[in-house]
Amino acid sequence: MLKLISELPDNWRGILIPMDGIYDSSGERHLNSALFLIPNDYAMSIATESEKLFPASSINPGRKDAIDELERVADSGAVVVKWIPNTMGIDPSDKSILPFYRKMKEFSLTLLSHTGTDYAVGGAVDQTLGNPQLLRLPLEEGLNIIAAHCASGGGDANGSYISQFLGMVDDFPNLYGDISGLSMLHKVSSLRHLIRNPHYFDKLCYGSDFPLYYTPATSPFYFLGLLSISTAIALEKIDNDLQRDIATLTTLSAPAHFFGRGYYIVSGLEQVG
């Protein structure tokens, strides 16, 4: 990953994401319930090896030391808190999390929350926890939120989760979506929809979903009809997975400001253009 990102232009930055686990009602971690765990300290130590990486954190608000850990990672420079509610057993609409949200707001931390169904990590507790509507509580608290994957996958009686997410972006100026994972074969239809409706890109930012981004799960050939065969062949020859993904999206007319928006969200700076 460090090699891939080192080959990107000098002004590009990435976020290295750890992963917390599942906690019981007493705030103790269930070590046997998670497919994998990546400690905050490990991810942040790797991030220090490259000026191109922002440190991030993953904190289940159900852990008994959640607020203390939040303060610790914020003091260490973390800019994001990452969740996968489906697999971490987090209901973002639970009002008991309000102190956690307010502390995040105090530290100007962005919540990067998985939305939609999740089958990549495994061990899902409840797929309905990926419903973007559950994010209304922290959004109303003024927290900046990036809905990972734009809630692609799943739905309920109110429609697909992605349609519900897209219906929310105009209601909340602090709600954004990232397109991570949407280049993969089973998500391509969602990305095609966004490309055909370019106004959505005003609230979207780039995400790679690395290391899940790989060939043949992703390929420029999945966009034939929007890309010519010769263009897809040329893009497929790009060795760097991140560069190939970015080049494909650029060729599909993703606007330049879309690629930089994530930086401005997590850094708290105002984006121009």
Identify whether the C-beta of residue 105 lies closer than 8 Å to the C-beta of residue 143: yes
pLDDT (0 to 100) of residue 123: 66
221 lies in a domain?
Answer: no
Query: Residue 155 belongs to a domain with what CATH number?
Result: 3.20.20.140
* Domain annotation covers residue 19: yes
Is 229 part of any domain? no
* Three-class SS state of 92: coil
User: What percentage of the chain's residues is helix, strand, coil (to nearest 5)?
Assistant: 45, 15, 40
Is 225 among the domain residues?
Answer: no
Pairing of strands 53-55, 204-205: unpaired
Q: Is residue 223 part of a domain?
A: no
Question: Checking DSSP bridges between strand 14-16 and strand 53-55, what pairing results, if any?
Answer: parallel
Question: Does residue 249 lie within any of the structural domains?
Answer: no
Low-confidence ranges of the chain (pLDDT < 50): 272-273
pLDDT value for 10: 85
Query: What's residue 5's pLDDT?
Result: 87
Q: Residue 272: its pLDDT value, please?
A: 44
Tell me whether residue 226 is in a domain.
Answer: no
Structural domain contains residue 224: no
Total domain count for the chain?
1
- What residue numbers bound the domain in which 63 lies? 2-213+257-267
Please return the burial class of 17, using the count of CB atoms within 10 Å of its CB with bins 0-12, 13-18 and 19+: buried
Q: What is the pLDDT of residue 122?
A: 67
